[in-house]
Amino acid sequence: MYCYLNGKMLPTHEASLGLNDLALLRGYGIFDFFVFEHFHPRFLEDYLDRFFRSAAYLGLQSPVSRADFRTSILQLIAANQQEKGGIRLVLTGGYSDDGFTPGLGNIFILQSAFVVPPAHQFATGVRVMTYQHQRELPLVKSLNYLTGINLLPTLREQEADFVLFHDGTYVRESDRSNFFIINETGQLVTPKEKVLAGITRAKIIELAKALGIPVAEREIPLEELATAREAFLTSSTKGALPVTLLDGQPVGDGQPGPISQQLQTAFLDLVERSLLVK
């Protein structure tokens, strides 16, 4: 398997970074992730927009241009000769003599297998537990996933599949997903503030509007979860994944809801159409 590092394509096992990179010393850096099928990335320009927006927010310096980076992504997919998979983009804080001041970043691309949730999770829904936490710098897709990873043993103990963060008053997002509910009036609602601007989140909102589903981007008080008809998570690998159990209590009737399923079907159709026009 090949990877890309600072303008060069090389076998992944030969790639290396110096130990004084701020990504290692301080966790200072950004990443993004998307999937590709039939050798074509899904919504590539949207992901590049977010990647370089995150870089600008943190003041990270890329050693390559966006145009060259885009070309390298496509070249890497071709070189690895796998029809589908995942692509992880990373830009680090760079080498730092004092261990704190950012320098010219190191930029790399890793390819992985195409992994999606098992079919039974779409058929029966997933179990989610709530946890009080606010993502630091939510507009940035940073390397910091400390809380989500640290909660993995708790998720297993609680027999939950995913975590849903809140700030004590309002719902935010999951560790690697955005969150939606269908409220008691049939409106699709998702948090607007203090969450990562998910690409799949944006596509689902567009699709819902096109389907005539009323949409609201606003705060979701914790107590509103109890009256939700449906709930689901969104991400590049999940699409719209139904949530049927929240803190041990059923969401709605405890089954994947019709709007969640409608939006998942519409999202997969959108993906197929986007690949056909390449």
**CATH number for position 88:** 3.30.470.10
Q: What is the pLDDT of residue 221?
A: 98
Q: What is the pLDDT of residue 275?
A: 82
* pLDDT, tens only, 158-198: 999 999 999 999 999 999 999 999 999 999 999 999 999 99
Tens of pLDDT, residues 27-39:
999 999 999 999 9
Which of 90, 112, 134 is the C-terminal boundary of a domain? Answer: 112
Percent of the chain predicted with pLDDT > 90: 98
Which residue type sits at 69?
F
Cβ atoms of 49 and 98 closer than 8 Å: no
169/55 same-domain check: no
Do 12 and 86 sit in the same domain of this protein?
A: yes
Same domain assignment for residues 104 and 54: yes
The mean pLDDT value for 211-227 works out to 98
Q: Return d(Cα 225, Cα 222) in angstroms, integer.
A: 6
Q: Which residues contact 26 (CB under 8 A, 6 or more apart)?
A: 93, 99, 100
Reported as a pLDDT band with limits 50, 70 and 90, residue 278 is low
The amino acid at residue 115 is V
Q: How confident is residue 145, by pLDDT bands cut at 50, 70 and 90?
A: very high
Region 8-28 average pLDDT: 97
Phi, psi of 98, deg, nearest 5? -95, 5
Residues 114 and 84: beta-carbon distance below 8 Å: yes
Q: Do both 126 and 25 map to the same domain?
A: no
Structure tokens at 62: 């890329």
- Name the DSSP class of 47: H
- Position 277 scores a pLDDT of 64
- For residue 150, pLDDT over 90 is answered with yes
Q: Which residue, chain included where needed, has tokens 């004590």? A: 168
- 276 confidence band (pLDDT: 50, 70, 90): confident
Do 107 and 126 belong together in one domain? no
Same domain? 104 vs 184: no
- Would you place residue 274 in the very low, low, confident or very high pLDDT band (cuts 50, 70, 90)? confident
Q: What is the CA radius of gyration of the chain?
A: 19
Based on the domain organization, do 138 and 272 belong to the same domain? yes
pLDDT in the model for residue 69: 97
Residues 176 and 272 in one domain: yes
Verify that 125 and 261 share a domain, yes or no: yes
Domain ranges, residue 38: 2-112
Domain count, the chain: 2
Query: What CATH number should be reported for the domain holding residue 241?
Result: 3.20.10.10
